[in-house]
Structure 1
Amino acid sequence: MGVGLTSGTGRPGRHLPRRDDPIGSLTGGLCERLRLRPGRGGTIRGRSGRTDALTFAATVEQAAAGLSRRGMCLGDVVGVLAPISPDRFLASYTVMAVGGRALTVSPESDLRTQCRALAETDARLLMVSEELAGRALELAERSRVRQVITFGSALGTTPFKELLLPSPDGNGYSPARGLFDNGHLGYEPAGDDILTTLHTHNDLLARFAELREELALTAEDVVAVGEAGDEATRLALVALALWTGACVVAGDECPPPEGRRVTVACDPAPTRIGFPHAGGAL
Protein backbone atom coordinates (compact mmCIF):
# COMPACT_ATOMS: atom_id res chain seq x y z
CA MET A 1 0.00 0.00 0.00
CA GLY A 2 1.32 3.44 -0.82
CA VAL A 3 0.33 7.00 -1.43
CA GLY A 4 0.54 8.83 -4.72
CA LEU A 5 1.04 12.57 -4.38
CA THR A 6 0.15 14.94 -7.17
CA SER A 7 0.07 18.70 -7.29
CA GLY A 8 -3.16 20.63 -7.37
CA THR A 9 -4.10 22.92 -10.19
CA GLY A 10 -0.52 24.04 -10.73
CA ARG A 11 -1.60 27.59 -11.50
CA PRO A 12 1.11 30.10 -10.62
CA GLY A 13 -1.22 32.76 -9.20
CA ARG A 14 0.09 35.40 -11.61
CA HIS A 15 -2.97 37.62 -11.01
CA LEU A 16 -1.67 38.41 -7.53
CA PRO A 17 -1.00 40.18 -5.28
CA ARG A 18 -3.71 42.71 -4.46
CA ARG A 19 -3.89 44.73 -1.30
CA ASP A 20 -7.04 42.93 -0.22
CA ASP A 21 -5.77 39.40 -0.97
CA PRO A 22 -5.35 36.74 1.70
CA ILE A 23 -1.90 36.65 3.28
CA GLY A 24 -0.32 33.27 3.98
CA SER A 25 -3.63 31.40 4.10
CA LEU A 26 -7.10 31.91 2.67
CA THR A 27 -8.21 33.76 5.81
CA GLY A 28 -4.90 35.48 6.55
CA GLY A 29 -5.69 39.17 7.11
CA LEU A 30 -9.47 38.69 6.93
CA CYS A 31 -10.06 39.46 10.60
CA GLU A 32 -8.16 42.75 10.43
CA ARG A 33 -9.96 43.72 7.22
CA LEU A 34 -13.37 43.11 8.78
CA ARG A 35 -12.44 45.04 11.92
CA LEU A 36 -11.42 48.03 9.81
CA ARG A 37 -14.59 47.76 7.69
CA PRO A 38 -17.32 46.68 10.10
CA GLY A 39 -20.08 47.54 7.66
CA ARG A 40 -18.72 45.11 5.04
CA GLY A 41 -18.96 41.90 7.06
CA GLY A 42 -21.21 39.08 5.93
CA THR A 43 -22.27 35.85 7.61
CA ILE A 44 -21.80 32.11 7.33
CA ARG A 45 -24.84 29.94 8.03
CA GLY A 46 -25.49 26.29 8.74
CA ARG A 47 -28.41 24.26 10.00
CA SER A 48 -27.55 25.17 13.59
CA GLY A 49 -27.47 28.94 13.11
CA ARG A 50 -25.46 31.85 11.79
CA THR A 51 -22.09 33.40 12.61
CA ASP A 52 -21.00 36.85 11.49
CA ALA A 53 -17.86 36.89 9.36
CA LEU A 54 -15.78 38.86 11.87
CA THR A 55 -16.48 36.36 14.66
CA PHE A 56 -15.71 33.49 12.28
CA ALA A 57 -12.41 35.04 11.18
CA ALA A 58 -11.39 35.87 14.75
CA THR A 59 -12.17 32.29 15.81
CA VAL A 60 -9.92 30.95 13.06
CA GLU A 61 -7.03 33.06 14.35
CA GLN A 62 -7.62 32.12 17.99
CA ALA A 63 -7.89 28.43 17.18
CA ALA A 64 -4.75 28.57 15.02
CA ALA A 65 -2.87 30.04 17.96
CA GLY A 66 -4.27 27.22 20.12
CA LEU A 67 -3.03 24.57 17.69
CA SER A 68 0.38 26.22 17.66
CA ARG A 69 0.56 26.05 21.46
CA ARG A 70 -0.26 22.34 21.23
CA GLY A 71 2.81 21.75 19.10
CA MET A 72 1.44 21.71 15.56
CA CYS A 73 4.21 22.39 13.04
CA LEU A 74 4.34 23.77 9.52
CA GLY A 75 3.30 21.15 7.00
CA ASP A 76 1.57 18.87 9.52
CA VAL A 77 -1.51 17.08 8.18
CA VAL A 78 -4.74 17.38 10.18
CA GLY A 79 -7.83 15.38 9.29
CA VAL A 80 -11.18 17.19 9.08
CA LEU A 81 -14.21 14.92 9.43
CA ALA A 82 -17.49 16.82 9.19
CA PRO A 83 -20.41 17.30 6.82
CA ILE A 84 -20.39 20.46 4.74
CA SER A 85 -21.07 23.08 7.40
CA PRO A 86 -19.49 26.14 9.00
CA ASP A 87 -17.58 23.79 11.34
CA ARG A 88 -15.93 22.04 8.40
CA PHE A 89 -14.71 25.33 6.92
CA LEU A 90 -13.67 26.62 10.34
CA ALA A 91 -11.53 23.52 10.89
CA SER A 92 -9.89 23.64 7.45
CA TYR A 93 -9.11 27.36 7.60
CA THR A 94 -7.72 26.96 11.13
CA VAL A 95 -5.34 24.21 10.02
CA MET A 96 -4.14 26.27 7.06
CA ALA A 97 -3.80 29.40 9.22
CA VAL A 98 -1.20 27.64 11.37
CA GLY A 99 0.70 26.40 8.33
CA GLY A 100 -0.78 22.91 8.13
CA ARG A 101 -2.46 20.84 5.46
CA ALA A 102 -6.15 20.11 5.92
CA LEU A 103 -7.11 16.58 4.87
CA THR A 104 -10.85 16.45 4.22
CA VAL A 105 -12.00 13.01 5.39
CA SER A 106 -15.27 12.43 3.60
CA PRO A 107 -18.07 11.25 5.90
CA GLU A 108 -19.32 9.18 2.96
CA SER A 109 -16.10 7.16 2.70
CA ASP A 110 -16.07 3.71 4.27
CA LEU A 111 -14.06 3.16 7.45
CA ARG A 112 -11.22 1.37 5.67
CA THR A 113 -10.75 4.18 3.14
CA GLN A 114 -10.86 6.82 5.87
CA CYS A 115 -8.23 4.92 7.88
CA ARG A 116 -5.96 4.55 4.87
CA ALA A 117 -6.20 8.25 4.08
CA LEU A 118 -5.23 9.20 7.65
CA ALA A 119 -2.48 6.62 7.87
CA GLU A 120 -0.88 7.33 4.50
CA THR A 121 -0.75 11.08 5.14
CA ASP A 122 0.57 10.55 8.69
CA ALA A 123 -2.20 12.61 10.27
CA ARG A 124 -1.86 12.79 14.06
CA LEU A 125 -4.81 15.09 14.76
CA LEU A 126 -8.45 14.85 13.71
CA MET A 127 -11.03 17.66 13.96
CA VAL A 128 -14.63 16.43 13.83
CA SER A 129 -18.24 17.51 14.12
CA GLU A 130 -19.96 16.37 17.30
CA GLU A 131 -22.19 13.80 15.60
CA LEU A 132 -19.16 12.05 14.09
CA ALA A 133 -17.11 11.87 17.29
CA GLY A 134 -17.74 8.14 17.66
CA ARG A 135 -16.42 7.43 14.17
CA ALA A 136 -13.43 9.68 14.87
CA LEU A 137 -12.47 7.73 17.98
CA GLU A 138 -12.70 4.50 16.01
CA LEU A 139 -10.44 6.00 13.35
CA ALA A 140 -7.96 7.08 16.02
CA GLU A 141 -7.69 3.49 17.23
CA ARG A 142 -6.87 2.29 13.70
CA SER A 143 -4.43 5.03 12.65
CA ARG A 144 -1.70 7.29 14.04
CA VAL A 145 -4.19 9.92 15.18
CA ARG A 146 -3.45 10.78 18.79
CA GLN A 147 -5.97 13.53 19.47
CA VAL A 148 -9.54 14.16 18.39
CA ILE A 149 -10.87 17.71 18.66
CA THR A 150 -14.65 17.97 18.57
CA PHE A 151 -16.99 20.85 17.80
CA GLY A 152 -19.10 20.22 20.85
CA SER A 153 -18.42 17.65 23.54
CA ALA A 154 -17.87 13.91 23.45
CA LEU A 155 -16.21 11.55 25.88
CA GLY A 156 -12.60 10.87 24.94
CA THR A 157 -12.23 14.00 22.79
CA THR A 158 -10.96 17.55 23.28
CA PRO A 159 -13.55 20.34 22.89
CA PHE A 160 -12.70 22.80 20.14
CA LYS A 161 -13.37 25.67 22.55
CA GLU A 162 -10.19 24.74 24.45
CA LEU A 163 -8.18 25.99 21.48
CA LEU A 164 -9.67 29.43 22.05
CA LEU A 165 -8.27 29.87 25.56
CA PRO A 166 -5.67 32.65 25.97
CA SER A 167 -2.00 31.75 26.11
CA PRO A 168 -0.90 31.12 29.73
CA ASP A 169 2.32 33.11 29.24
CA GLY A 170 0.80 35.84 27.10
CA ASN A 171 2.73 34.81 24.00
CA GLY A 172 0.81 33.93 20.89
CA TYR A 173 1.22 32.67 17.38
CA SER A 174 0.34 35.20 14.67
CA PRO A 175 -1.59 33.70 11.73
CA ALA A 176 -1.11 36.97 9.85
CA ARG A 177 2.47 36.09 8.97
CA GLY A 178 3.22 34.59 5.57
CA LEU A 179 2.86 30.80 5.49
CA PHE A 180 3.20 29.02 2.19
CA ASP A 181 3.66 25.40 3.25
CA ASN A 182 -0.06 24.96 3.87
CA GLY A 183 -2.90 23.78 1.70
CA HIS A 184 -5.68 21.25 1.25
CA LEU A 185 -5.35 17.50 0.77
CA GLY A 186 -7.95 15.45 -1.05
CA TYR A 187 -7.87 11.71 -1.67
CA GLU A 188 -9.44 8.95 -3.70
CA PRO A 189 -9.05 5.16 -3.67
CA ALA A 190 -6.80 3.81 -6.42
CA GLY A 191 -6.99 0.02 -6.24
CA ASP A 192 -5.18 -0.99 -3.07
CA ASP A 193 -3.61 2.45 -2.75
CA ILE A 194 -4.78 5.94 -1.88
CA LEU A 195 -4.10 8.76 -4.31
CA THR A 196 -3.85 12.14 -2.57
CA THR A 197 -3.94 15.51 -4.27
CA LEU A 198 -2.26 18.48 -2.64
CA HIS A 199 -3.69 21.90 -3.43
CA THR A 200 -1.02 24.28 -2.17
CA HIS A 201 -1.64 27.77 -0.87
CA ASN A 202 -0.67 29.21 -4.25
CA ASP A 203 -3.10 26.85 -6.02
CA LEU A 204 -5.95 27.88 -3.71
CA LEU A 205 -5.10 31.55 -3.99
CA ALA A 206 -5.03 31.35 -7.80
CA ARG A 207 -8.48 29.75 -7.72
CA PHE A 208 -9.62 32.52 -5.33
CA ALA A 209 -8.48 35.13 -7.87
CA GLU A 210 -10.16 33.36 -10.78
CA LEU A 211 -13.47 33.11 -8.95
CA ARG A 212 -13.26 36.77 -8.00
CA GLU A 213 -13.03 37.69 -11.68
CA GLU A 214 -15.63 35.18 -12.88
CA LEU A 215 -18.33 35.80 -10.27
CA ALA A 216 -17.90 39.50 -9.38
CA LEU A 217 -19.36 38.89 -5.92
CA THR A 218 -20.86 41.73 -3.92
CA ALA A 219 -21.89 42.03 -0.28
CA GLU A 220 -25.51 41.45 -1.34
CA ASP A 221 -24.84 37.99 -2.78
CA VAL A 222 -25.88 34.71 -1.14
CA VAL A 223 -23.39 31.93 -1.87
CA ALA A 224 -24.51 28.33 -1.39
CA VAL A 225 -22.05 25.45 -0.99
CA GLY A 226 -23.25 21.87 -0.75
CA GLU A 227 -22.13 18.41 -1.79
CA ALA A 228 -21.66 19.32 -5.46
CA GLY A 229 -18.17 20.30 -6.58
CA ASP A 230 -14.71 19.69 -5.15
CA GLU A 231 -13.49 20.73 -1.72
CA ALA A 232 -10.57 22.89 -2.87
CA THR A 233 -12.95 25.03 -4.93
CA ARG A 234 -15.40 25.23 -2.02
CA LEU A 235 -12.62 26.46 0.26
CA ALA A 236 -11.64 29.18 -2.22
CA LEU A 237 -15.26 30.19 -2.84
CA VAL A 238 -16.26 30.46 0.82
CA ALA A 239 -13.11 32.46 1.59
CA LEU A 240 -13.89 34.80 -1.31
CA ALA A 241 -17.44 35.28 -0.05
CA LEU A 242 -16.18 36.12 3.44
CA TRP A 243 -13.68 38.61 2.06
CA THR A 244 -16.42 40.19 -0.06
CA GLY A 245 -18.95 40.45 2.78
CA ALA A 246 -21.44 38.08 1.16
CA CYS A 247 -23.65 35.58 2.98
CA VAL A 248 -22.52 31.94 2.87
CA VAL A 249 -25.06 29.13 3.16
CA ALA A 250 -23.20 25.91 4.03
CA GLY A 251 -24.91 22.55 3.54
CA ASP A 252 -27.61 21.32 1.19
CA GLU A 253 -30.28 21.56 3.90
CA CYS A 254 -29.46 25.10 5.00
CA PRO A 255 -31.95 27.67 3.66
CA PRO A 256 -30.94 31.21 2.63
CA PRO A 257 -31.81 34.13 4.91
CA GLU A 258 -35.47 35.06 4.99
CA GLY A 259 -36.44 37.26 2.08
CA ARG A 260 -33.32 36.47 0.09
CA ARG A 261 -32.38 33.90 -2.52
CA VAL A 262 -29.20 32.08 -3.50
CA THR A 263 -27.35 33.96 -6.24
CA VAL A 264 -24.19 31.82 -6.55
CA ALA A 265 -24.04 28.05 -6.21
CA CYS A 266 -21.70 25.13 -6.93
CA ASP A 267 -23.39 23.28 -9.76
CA PRO A 268 -20.83 21.63 -9.60
CA ALA A 269 -18.56 24.56 -10.50
CA PRO A 270 -19.31 27.91 -8.84
CA THR A 271 -21.92 29.58 -11.04
CA ARG A 272 -23.94 32.77 -10.81
CA ILE A 273 -27.58 31.71 -10.95
CA GLY A 274 -29.17 35.05 -10.10
CA PHE A 275 -28.60 38.59 -8.92
CA PRO A 276 -29.41 40.04 -5.50
CA HIS A 277 -32.17 42.48 -4.84
CA ALA A 278 -30.81 45.89 -3.96
CA GLY A 279 -30.49 46.56 -0.26
CA GLY A 280 -30.89 42.95 0.87
CA ALA A 281 -30.21 42.33 4.55
CA LEU A 282 -27.61 39.85 5.76
Structure 2
Amino acid sequence: MGVGLSSGTGRPGRNLPRRDDPIGSLTGGLCERLRLRQGRGGSIRGEGSRVDALAFAATVERAAAGLSRRGLCLGDVVGVLAPVSPERFLGTYTVMAVGGRALPLSPFSEPDVQCAALTETDARLLVVSADLVPVALELADRSRVRQVIAFGDALGTTSFEDLLRPSPDGTGYSPSRGLFDNGILGYEETGAGLLTTLYPHSDLMARFVALRERLSLTAEDVVYVDEHGEEATRAALVALALWTGACVVAGTDCPAPEGRRVTVRCAPEPERVAAPGPHA
Protein backbone atom coordinates (compact mmCIF):
# COMPACT_ATOMS: atom_id res chain seq x y z
CA MET A 1 0.00 0.00 0.00
CA GLY A 2 1.50 3.34 -1.03
CA VAL A 3 1.76 6.49 1.00
CA GLY A 4 -1.54 8.38 1.05
CA LEU A 5 -0.93 11.62 -0.85
CA SER A 6 -3.61 14.26 -1.00
CA SER A 7 -4.90 16.64 -3.66
CA GLY A 8 -2.91 17.24 -6.85
CA THR A 9 -0.78 20.28 -7.59
CA GLY A 10 -3.29 21.82 -9.99
CA ARG A 11 -6.28 21.69 -7.65
CA PRO A 12 -7.67 24.75 -5.85
CA GLY A 13 -8.21 24.85 -2.13
CA ARG A 14 -5.07 23.06 -1.03
CA ASN A 15 -4.46 25.77 1.57
CA LEU A 16 -0.74 25.12 1.70
CA PRO A 17 1.21 27.28 4.14
CA ARG A 18 3.16 30.02 2.39
CA ARG A 19 6.54 29.76 3.98
CA ASP A 20 10.21 29.86 3.14
CA ASP A 21 11.25 26.61 4.83
CA PRO A 22 10.91 23.09 3.40
CA ILE A 23 7.93 21.09 4.60
CA GLY A 24 8.61 17.45 5.37
CA SER A 25 11.45 17.06 2.87
CA LEU A 26 14.07 19.36 1.35
CA THR A 27 11.80 20.20 -1.60
CA GLY A 28 8.46 20.05 0.21
CA GLY A 29 6.67 23.31 -0.67
CA LEU A 30 9.30 24.44 -3.18
CA CYS A 31 6.99 24.14 -6.17
CA GLU A 32 4.32 26.25 -4.45
CA ARG A 33 6.89 28.89 -3.50
CA LEU A 34 8.20 29.15 -7.05
CA ARG A 35 4.70 29.38 -8.48
CA LEU A 36 4.10 32.38 -6.23
CA ARG A 37 7.26 34.10 -7.46
CA GLN A 38 7.04 33.57 -11.20
CA GLY A 39 10.14 34.65 -13.09
CA ARG A 40 12.35 34.72 -9.99
CA GLY A 41 13.29 31.06 -9.83
CA GLY A 42 16.73 29.70 -10.63
CA SER A 43 17.84 26.64 -12.55
CA ILE A 44 19.83 23.47 -12.23
CA ARG A 45 22.29 22.58 -14.98
CA GLY A 46 24.26 19.52 -15.98
CA GLU A 47 26.53 18.79 -18.91
CA GLY A 48 24.40 19.68 -21.94
CA SER A 49 21.16 20.14 -19.97
CA ARG A 50 19.29 22.86 -18.13
CA VAL A 51 16.07 22.66 -16.08
CA ASP A 52 14.43 25.68 -14.51
CA ALA A 53 13.74 25.33 -10.80
CA LEU A 54 9.94 25.37 -11.10
CA ALA A 55 9.92 22.56 -13.66
CA PHE A 56 12.38 20.61 -11.51
CA ALA A 57 10.26 21.03 -8.35
CA ALA A 58 7.05 20.11 -10.17
CA THR A 59 8.72 16.97 -11.57
CA VAL A 60 9.79 15.92 -8.07
CA GLU A 61 6.19 16.17 -6.86
CA ARG A 62 4.74 14.29 -9.83
CA ALA A 63 7.37 11.56 -9.59
CA ALA A 64 6.81 11.24 -5.83
CA ALA A 65 3.12 10.62 -6.47
CA GLY A 66 4.12 8.06 -9.09
CA LEU A 67 6.36 6.22 -6.65
CA SER A 68 3.57 6.18 -4.10
CA ARG A 69 1.18 4.61 -6.62
CA ARG A 70 3.80 1.91 -7.18
CA GLY A 71 3.74 1.00 -3.50
CA LEU A 72 6.68 2.87 -1.99
CA CYS A 73 6.13 3.09 1.77
CA LEU A 74 7.47 5.42 4.43
CA GLY A 75 11.07 4.52 5.22
CA ASP A 76 11.62 2.33 2.15
CA VAL A 77 15.12 2.60 0.66
CA VAL A 78 15.66 3.47 -3.00
CA GLY A 79 19.11 3.45 -4.59
CA VAL A 80 20.10 6.33 -6.90
CA LEU A 81 22.95 5.57 -9.31
CA ALA A 82 24.01 8.63 -11.30
CA PRO A 83 26.90 11.06 -11.45
CA VAL A 84 26.46 14.41 -9.73
CA SER A 85 23.90 15.87 -12.14
CA PRO A 86 20.29 17.09 -12.23
CA GLU A 87 19.20 13.44 -12.50
CA ARG A 88 20.98 12.48 -9.28
CA PHE A 89 19.24 15.26 -7.35
CA LEU A 90 15.91 14.59 -9.03
CA GLY A 91 16.04 10.94 -7.97
CA THR A 92 17.21 11.74 -4.44
CA TYR A 93 14.64 14.47 -3.75
CA THR A 94 11.82 12.40 -5.27
CA VAL A 95 12.50 9.50 -2.91
CA MET A 96 12.57 11.81 0.11
CA ALA A 97 9.46 13.69 -1.05
CA VAL A 98 7.39 10.52 -0.80
CA GLY A 99 8.82 9.62 2.61
CA GLY A 100 11.50 7.20 1.48
CA ARG A 101 15.21 7.04 2.21
CA ALA A 102 17.51 7.77 -0.72
CA LEU A 103 20.73 5.79 -1.10
CA PRO A 104 22.89 7.72 -3.59
CA LEU A 105 25.52 5.36 -4.96
CA SER A 106 28.84 6.72 -6.14
CA PRO A 107 29.53 5.69 -9.75
CA PHE A 108 33.16 5.41 -8.65
CA SER A 109 32.48 2.74 -6.01
CA GLU A 110 33.40 -0.83 -6.87
CA PRO A 111 30.37 -2.90 -7.95
CA ASP A 112 30.84 -5.18 -4.94
CA VAL A 113 30.56 -2.15 -2.64
CA GLN A 114 27.52 -0.81 -4.48
CA CYS A 115 25.86 -4.21 -4.27
CA ALA A 116 26.67 -4.52 -0.57
CA ALA A 117 25.14 -1.09 0.11
CA LEU A 118 21.93 -2.05 -1.70
CA THR A 119 21.72 -5.39 0.09
CA GLU A 120 22.58 -4.00 3.54
CA THR A 121 19.81 -1.40 3.29
CA ASP A 122 17.30 -3.79 1.70
CA ALA A 123 16.76 -1.51 -1.30
CA ARG A 124 14.15 -2.85 -3.73
CA LEU A 125 14.18 0.01 -6.26
CA LEU A 126 17.10 1.58 -8.12
CA VAL A 127 16.92 4.86 -10.06
CA VAL A 128 19.68 5.18 -12.66
CA SER A 129 20.98 7.60 -15.28
CA ALA A 130 20.89 6.38 -18.88
CA ASP A 131 24.65 5.86 -19.15
CA LEU A 132 24.78 3.54 -16.14
CA VAL A 133 21.86 1.24 -17.00
CA PRO A 134 24.10 -1.83 -17.67
CA VAL A 135 25.70 -1.42 -14.24
CA ALA A 136 22.28 -1.01 -12.61
CA LEU A 137 20.89 -4.17 -14.22
CA GLU A 138 23.91 -6.14 -13.02
CA LEU A 139 23.45 -4.77 -9.50
CA ALA A 140 19.77 -5.75 -9.60
CA ASP A 141 20.71 -9.32 -10.49
CA ARG A 142 23.10 -9.46 -7.51
CA SER A 143 20.90 -7.78 -4.89
CA ARG A 144 17.27 -7.58 -3.73
CA VAL A 145 16.45 -4.81 -6.20
CA ARG A 146 13.28 -5.75 -8.05
CA GLN A 147 12.85 -2.75 -10.35
CA VAL A 148 15.25 -0.41 -12.14
CA ILE A 149 13.87 3.01 -13.06
CA ALA A 150 15.94 4.76 -15.74
CA PHE A 151 16.12 8.29 -17.06
CA GLY A 152 15.40 7.28 -20.63
CA ASP A 153 14.19 4.13 -22.34
CA ALA A 154 16.30 1.02 -21.88
CA LEU A 155 15.49 -2.67 -22.14
CA GLY A 156 14.85 -4.23 -18.74
CA THR A 157 14.02 -0.93 -17.03
CA THR A 158 11.02 1.26 -16.27
CA SER A 159 11.23 4.77 -17.68
CA PHE A 160 11.26 7.58 -15.12
CA GLU A 161 8.70 9.27 -17.38
CA ASP A 162 6.20 6.58 -16.37
CA LEU A 163 6.20 8.02 -12.85
CA LEU A 164 4.93 11.31 -14.23
CA ARG A 165 1.73 9.96 -15.75
CA PRO A 166 -1.49 11.42 -14.27
CA SER A 167 -3.09 9.39 -11.51
CA PRO A 168 -6.19 7.47 -12.62
CA ASP A 169 -8.15 8.82 -9.63
CA GLY A 170 -6.74 12.36 -9.83
CA THR A 171 -4.75 12.20 -6.60
CA GLY A 172 -1.29 13.70 -6.43
CA TYR A 173 1.35 14.99 -4.06
CA SER A 174 0.93 17.61 -1.35
CA PRO A 175 3.88 18.89 0.70
CA SER A 176 1.51 19.69 3.56
CA ARG A 177 1.72 16.00 4.43
CA GLY A 178 4.25 15.46 7.23
CA LEU A 179 6.61 13.00 5.57
CA PHE A 180 9.37 13.02 8.15
CA ASP A 181 10.47 9.37 7.98
CA ASN A 182 12.89 10.16 5.19
CA GLY A 183 16.50 11.09 4.64
CA ILE A 184 19.71 10.19 2.86
CA LEU A 185 21.77 7.06 3.48
CA GLY A 186 25.54 7.30 3.22
CA TYR A 187 27.95 4.35 3.13
CA GLU A 188 31.65 3.73 3.49
CA GLU A 189 34.03 0.82 3.69
CA THR A 190 35.67 0.19 7.06
CA GLY A 191 37.94 -2.46 8.50
CA ALA A 192 34.85 -4.09 9.96
CA GLY A 193 32.92 -4.03 6.68
CA LEU A 194 30.41 -1.63 5.17
CA LEU A 195 29.12 1.15 7.42
CA THR A 196 25.85 2.86 6.50
CA THR A 197 24.71 6.12 8.07
CA LEU A 198 21.24 7.67 7.95
CA TYR A 199 21.02 11.44 7.68
CA PRO A 200 17.36 12.01 8.62
CA HIS A 201 15.18 14.99 7.75
CA SER A 202 16.13 16.75 10.99
CA ASP A 203 19.84 16.53 10.11
CA LEU A 204 19.30 17.71 6.52
CA MET A 205 17.21 20.65 7.73
CA ALA A 206 19.88 21.62 10.27
CA ARG A 207 22.42 21.69 7.42
CA PHE A 208 20.00 23.69 5.26
CA VAL A 209 19.53 26.33 7.97
CA ALA A 210 23.25 26.50 8.83
CA LEU A 211 24.19 26.97 5.17
CA ARG A 212 21.53 29.65 4.73
CA GLU A 213 22.99 31.63 7.62
CA ARG A 214 26.61 31.10 6.61
CA LEU A 215 26.41 31.70 2.85
CA SER A 216 23.60 34.28 2.54
CA LEU A 217 22.71 33.06 -0.95
CA THR A 218 20.87 35.34 -3.37
CA ALA A 219 19.23 34.76 -6.74
CA GLU A 220 22.40 36.14 -8.35
CA ASP A 221 24.58 33.32 -7.03
CA VAL A 222 25.94 30.41 -9.05
CA VAL A 223 26.45 27.29 -6.90
CA TYR A 224 28.87 24.61 -8.10
CA VAL A 225 28.69 20.99 -6.94
CA ASP A 226 30.66 17.95 -8.08
CA GLU A 227 31.61 14.49 -6.80
CA HIS A 228 33.68 15.92 -3.95
CA GLY A 229 32.20 16.60 -0.53
CA GLU A 230 29.60 14.92 1.65
CA GLU A 231 26.36 13.76 0.04
CA ALA A 232 24.05 15.12 2.74
CA THR A 233 25.66 18.56 2.65
CA ARG A 234 25.58 18.62 -1.15
CA ALA A 235 21.86 17.78 -1.15
CA ALA A 236 21.12 20.48 1.45
CA LEU A 237 23.12 23.10 -0.47
CA VAL A 238 21.44 22.37 -3.80
CA ALA A 239 18.02 22.51 -2.14
CA LEU A 240 18.92 25.85 -0.55
CA ALA A 241 20.02 27.21 -3.93
CA LEU A 242 16.72 26.16 -5.50
CA TRP A 243 14.74 27.77 -2.68
CA THR A 244 16.78 30.96 -3.07
CA GLY A 245 16.44 31.19 -6.85
CA ALA A 246 20.16 30.71 -7.47
CA CYS A 247 21.67 28.76 -10.36
CA VAL A 248 23.13 25.31 -9.68
CA VAL A 249 25.82 23.86 -11.93
CA ALA A 250 26.29 20.15 -11.29
CA GLY A 251 29.22 18.06 -12.44
CA THR A 252 32.84 18.66 -13.39
CA ASP A 253 32.10 19.35 -17.06
CA CYS A 254 29.17 21.72 -16.50
CA PRO A 255 30.12 25.37 -17.14
CA ALA A 256 28.58 28.39 -15.42
CA PRO A 257 25.95 30.31 -17.42
CA GLU A 258 27.45 32.58 -20.05
CA GLY A 259 28.65 35.86 -18.58
CA ARG A 260 28.45 34.61 -14.99
CA ARG A 261 30.91 32.99 -12.60
CA VAL A 262 30.73 30.44 -9.82
CA THR A 263 30.25 32.21 -6.50
CA VAL A 264 29.75 29.27 -4.11
CA ARG A 265 31.47 25.88 -4.09
CA CYS A 266 30.37 22.83 -2.13
CA ALA A 267 33.69 21.09 -1.49
CA PRO A 268 35.75 20.51 0.51
CA GLU A 269 33.33 22.57 2.63
CA PRO A 270 30.62 24.89 1.31
CA GLU A 271 32.12 28.33 0.91
CA ARG A 272 31.64 31.58 -0.94
CA VAL A 273 34.44 32.08 -3.46
CA ALA A 274 33.23 35.24 -5.20
CA ALA A 275 30.61 37.94 -4.98
CA PRO A 276 27.59 37.61 -7.28
CA GLY A 277 27.91 39.38 -10.59
CA PRO A 278 29.45 39.01 -14.07
CA HIS A 279 33.02 37.99 -14.74
CA ALA A 280 35.54 40.71 -14.08
Common topology (TM > 0.5): yes
Aligned residue for 1:198? 198
Aligned to 1:230: 230
Q: Is the contact made by 2:19 and 2:33 (CA closer than 8 Å) also made in structure 1?
A: no
Deviation at 1:168, TM superposition (A): 1.2
- Once the two structures are TM-superposed, the CA of residue 84 in structure 1 deviates from its matched residue by 0.3
Q: What residue is the counterpart of 1:165 in the other structure?
A: 165
| Unmatched 5+ stretches in structure 1 | 1-17
- Residue 87 of structure 2: aligned partner: 87
Q: Which moved more, 1:136-145 or 1:191-200?
A: 191-200
User: How far, CA to CA, are the matches of 2:252 and 2:235 in structure 1?
Assistant: 16
Aligned position for 1:179: 179
Aligned residue identity for 2:73: C
State the distance in 2 between where 1:225 and 1:123 align. 26
Distance 2:172 2:217 in 1: 34
User: Structure 2 matches for 1:39-58, cutoff 5 A?
Assistant: 39-58=39-58
Amino acid in structure 2 at the alignment position of 1:275: A
The SS at the match of 2:89 is helix
Give the deviation of 1:126 after TM superposition: 0.1
**Equivalent position of 2:9 in the other structure:** none
**Aligned letter for 1:271?**
E
Q: What is the alpha-carbon distance in structure 2 between the residues aligned to residue 72 and residue 206 of structure 1?
A: 26
1:216 paired residue number: 216
Q: What is the deviation of 1:48?
A: 2.4
Which residue of structure 2 aligns with residue 8 of structure 1?
none
In the TM superposition, what is the alpha-carbon distance from 1:49 to its structure 2 partner? 1.3
Cα separation, 2, equivalents of 1:124 and 1:194:
19
Determine what percentage of the aligned residue pairs are the same residue: 74
Determine the C-alpha separation between the residues in 1 that align with 2:191 and 2:144. 22
Residue equivalent to 2:66: 66
CA-based RMSD? 1.3
CA distance in 1, matches of 2:75, 2:144: 16
Distance 1:192 1:156, change over 3 A: farther
Alignment of 1:124 onto 2:124: yes
- Equivalents in 1 of 2:173, 2:80: separation in Å? 22
Report how far residue 192 of structure 1 moved.
5.4
1:4-153 superposed matches below 5 A: 19-153=19-153
User: After the TM superposition, which of the residue ranges 205-214 and 186-195 deviates more from structure 2?
Assistant: 186-195
Aligned to 2:13: none
Q: What is the rounded CA distance, in whole Å, between the counterparts of 1:136 and 1:175 in structure 2?
A: 30
Partner of 1:14: none
Distance 2:158 2:44 in 1: 24
Deviation at residue 267 of structure 1 after TM alignment: 2.9
- For the 8 Å contact 1:186–1:196, the answer to whether it is kept is yes
Aligned partner of 1:5 in structure 2 is none
The answer on whether the counterparts of 1:46 and 1:250 sit within 8 Å (CA) in structure 2 is yes
Partner of 2:156: 156
Instruction: Report how far residue 153 of structure 1 moved.
Output: 1.4
Question: Which consecutive residues of structure 2, in runs of 5 or more, have no partner in the other structure?
Answer: 1-17
The range that moved more, 40-49 or 119-128, is 40-49
Deviates more, 1:106-115 or 1:65-74: 106-115
CA distance in 1, matches of 2:200, 2:169: 33
